[in-house]
């Protein structure tokens, strides 16, 4: 509203407005006498009564208020609510003129001023002014998201948001995060515990899809005294389609690009004692070289390799597709000897023309690797980006918006 707070008050003063204890104002519109002498009558007072909630001087008001301005025995004509910088709070007066409410939530840790005008049925005006402050959060929370903005990813990419604090109000937080696609497809959220919220469509993304993640977490309540601090948009693009099928029983990996098998590679999967997980897994990280130590995944000192080449992470628990230079070449395509990883023939330092080098260069974060013919269980949906192992109905069942808890 273009009228300033000062103008509202001056407008009231211009007609003799003076805020009374009942919230109304004294109106000087009509003087029954012509002068100010002994024969003059007392100015008539507006019957309109303005009430502002919260009351003047109130502190620690929640972002959701309540904030309401009402008028009894009259109609509101102007209401302005603004923060300390003068930015107005959008809102509207009801059709009957008896109430004004904001269009959305307030900002936290903010001082607001309210100036309201009303008039009674005789046109006499009343004014009221109030100041209040919103709550100062005890704690803030943020979400760490993947993939990164501007990234080109595979068709199996699942948007994952991990929070730095437990989320009690999952409905409010899930409602504050939206994931949209162009071309449009339905996208739904699924909670894994109280710190992780993933989003995916029913089927893999179509190549070329542009996906936008909108985090509107600022001042959203997550738990008692805990509010969000992010207001951010993240956009990424889906690249070509590549899905690789590892047949652990046949020791092969068929790489399918845009619906056509472009290459079949010999592999060595997990040994009978340490079988590779079955099911759908998604590449979440690409490392030209990394250290693999059995101590970090519960295998004690069984292995400690400082320079594993062409490593691509599939699970949080430590399953990778990676180059292997230490096994005899004859192992690939004939035997499963790893501790659960999928090994491809490579050379020390990583070779660009080796099977491992070719697959590394041909893959994107977000590409899907499916393992069949394994004696191990299907990978858990929260182990890496394993959400594709849930049916669409199972995925929707994990949404707080569809199934509030």
In a domain, residue 271? The reply is yes
Q: Given the residues 251, 310, 339, 341, select the one marked as catalytic.
A: 341
Does 233 share its domain with 286? no
Does 168 share its domain with 155? yes
Does 229 share its domain with 255? no
* Domain range enclosing 228: 139-239
pLDDT band at 33 (very low <50, low <70, confident <90, very high): very low
In a domain, residue 380? The reply is no
Instruction: Give the model confidence (pLDDT) of 304-341 as tens digits.
Output: 788 999 999 999 999 999 999 999 999 999 999 998 99
In a domain, residue 396? The reply is no
C-alpha neighbours within 13 Å on the C-beta side of residue 319: 27
Q: What six digits make up the tokens of 371? A: 């393992």
CATH code of 123's domain: 2.60.40.3780
Is 341 marked active-site? Answer: yes
Q: Which of 207, 222, 239 is the last residue of a domain?
A: 239
Q: How confident is the model at residue 403, as a pLDDT? A: 73
In a domain, residue 402? The reply is no
Instruction: Give the model confidence (pLDDT) of 40-95 as tens digits.
Output: 555 689 999 999 999 999 999 988 889 999 999 999 999 999 999 999 999 999 99
Is 129 marked active-site? Answer: no
Q: Given the residues 190, 251, 310, 322, select the one marked as catalytic.
A: 322
In a domain, residue 393? The reply is no
Does 104 share its domain with 200? no
* Of the candidates 162, 164, 157, the residue with the CA atom closest to the CA atom of residue 145: 162
Instruction: Give the model confidence (pLDDT) of 356-386 as tens digits.
Output: 999 999 999 999 999 999 999 999 999 999 9
In a domain, residue 379? The reply is no
Q: Which of 133, 158, 191 is the last residue of a domain?
A: 133
Into how many domains does the chain fold?
A: 3
Instruction: Give the model confidence (pLDDT) of 130-157 as tens digits.
Output: 999 999 999 999 999 999 999 999 999 9
CATH code of 165's domain: 2.60.40.3710
- Of 200 and 35, the structure prediction assigns the larger pLDDT to 200
């Amino acid at each position: 509203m273009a009228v300033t707070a000062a103008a509202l008050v001056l407008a009231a003063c211009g007609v003799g407005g003076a805020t009374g204890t009942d919230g109304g104002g004294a109106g000087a519109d009509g003087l029954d006498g012509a002068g100010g002498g002994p024969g003059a009558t007392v100015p008539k007072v507006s019957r309109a009564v303005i009430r502002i909630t919260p009351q003047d001087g109130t502190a620690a008001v929640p972002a959701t208020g309540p904030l309401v301005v009402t008028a009894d025995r009259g109609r509101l004509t102007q209401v302005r609510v603004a923060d300390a910088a003068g930015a107005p709070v959008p809102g509207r007066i009801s059709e009957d003129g008896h109430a004004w409410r904001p269009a959305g939530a307030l900002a936290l840790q903010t001082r607001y001023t309210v100036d309201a005008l009303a008039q009674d049925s005789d046109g006499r005006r009343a004014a009221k002014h109030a100041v209040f402050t919103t709550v100062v959060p005890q704690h803030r929370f943020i979400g760490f998201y993947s993939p990164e903005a501007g990234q080109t990813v595979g068709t199996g990419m699942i948007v994952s948001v991990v929070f730095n604090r437990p989320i009690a109000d999952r409905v409010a937080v899930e409602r504050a995060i939206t994931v949209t696609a162009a071309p449009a497809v339905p996208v739904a959220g699924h909670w894994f515990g109280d710190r992780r919220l993933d989003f995916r469509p029913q089927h893999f993304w179509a190549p070329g899809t542009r996906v936008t993640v909108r985090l509107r977490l600022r001042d959203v309540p997550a738990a008692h005294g805990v509010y969000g601090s992010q207001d951010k948009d993240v956009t990424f693009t889906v690249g070509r389609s590549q899905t690789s099928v590892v047949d652990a029983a046949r020791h092969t990996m068929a790489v399918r690009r845009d619906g056509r098998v472009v290459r079949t590679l010999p592999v060595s999967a997990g040994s009978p004692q340490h079988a590779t997980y079955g099911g759908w897994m998604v590449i979440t990280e690409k490392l030209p070289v990394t250290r693999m130590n059995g101590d970090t995944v519960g295998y004690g000192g069984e292995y400690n390799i400082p320079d594993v080449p062409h490593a691509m992470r599939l699970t949080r628990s430590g399953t990778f597709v990676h180059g292997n230079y230490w096994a005899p070449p004859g192992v690939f395509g004939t035997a499963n000897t790893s501790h659960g990883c999928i090994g491809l023939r490579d050379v020390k330092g990583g070779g660009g023309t080796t099977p491992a080098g070719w697959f590394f260069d041909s893959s994107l974060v977000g590409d899907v690797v499916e393992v069949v013919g394994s004696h191990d269980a299907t990978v858990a949906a929260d182990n890496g980006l394993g959400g594709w192992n849930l049916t669409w109905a199972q995925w929707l069942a994990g949404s707080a918006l569809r199934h509030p808890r």
